[in-house]
A = this chain, B = another copy of it.
Amino acid sequence: MFSLSEENYLKAIFHLERKYAGGVSTNALAEEMETKASSVTDMVKKLSEKDLVKYRKYQGVHLSEKGKRTAIEVIRKHRLWEVFLVEKLNFSWDEVHDIAEQLEHIKSEKLTDELDKFLGHPKRDPHGDPIPDGDGNFRISNKMLLADLEEGQAGICVGVKDSSTEFLRYLDKNEITLGKAIKIVQREEYDESLLIKINDKDLRISKTISKNLFVKPIES
């Protein structure tokens, strides 16, 4: 149906629309896709002709309904494959991204549905990101950045914002995994670092870390 390149652009636009609700700029897309602005313009025109995006020269792009549906389908496959790799093939959460980038383009609706069933209809991928269902609906959750919790508040670790190998390895090393409870013991205003309690131990984490970790706040 759509080329690998087209699917990757749609996915990128989908992700960027969260940040730039007023339209995704050519430069932002170019950076996300690690390509040049001129290439983006070319591709965006093509996507526009196929009614996958709404595009007005110099004004950025938006996904159309059709484009959004396609993007979500690719994301669904990406996340299901990540679950497969971690749960069934002994991959760790920092190893799965590049392979899922390949697997997400395999075309077969039956394959996606059977994989979903085989995995027991998982709701989240190994990084805590929600997996859309077959109709493209995401489970919405009240997650927030750890950095935005108040002193004394606690939350359950539910996802990462940065899923780079480096960050995930840092988390592994410090035994921070999804599902764990984290409590803010003390906020250091000077460098915005946090002293947190996790696994019954105190741990000091930098602003960089707390800005990349999602938690679901615990009502208290």
Q: Which residues of A contact B (CB under 8 A)?
A: 85, 88-91, 95, 98-99, 102-103, 106-108, 110-111, 114-115, 118
Contact = CB atoms under 8 A, between A and B. Distances in A.
A98 B114 CA distance: 16
12 contacts: A88-B118, A89-B114, A90-B114, A95-B110, A98-B108, A99-B106, A99-B108, A99-B111, A102-B106, A102-B108, A103-B103, A103-B106
Contacts of A95: 110
A89 B106 contact: no
Contact of A111 (B89, B111, B114, B115): B89
B89 A118 contact: yes
Given A91-B110, A98-B108, 12 more contacts: A88-B118, A89-B111, A89-B114, A89-B115, A89-B118, A90-B114, A91-B114, A99-B106, A102-B106, A102-B107, A103-B103, A103-B106
B102 A85 contact: no
Nearest to A108: B99
7 closest Cβ pairs, A-B complex: A89-B114, A102-B106, A99-B108, A99-B111, A89-B118, A88-B118, A90-B114
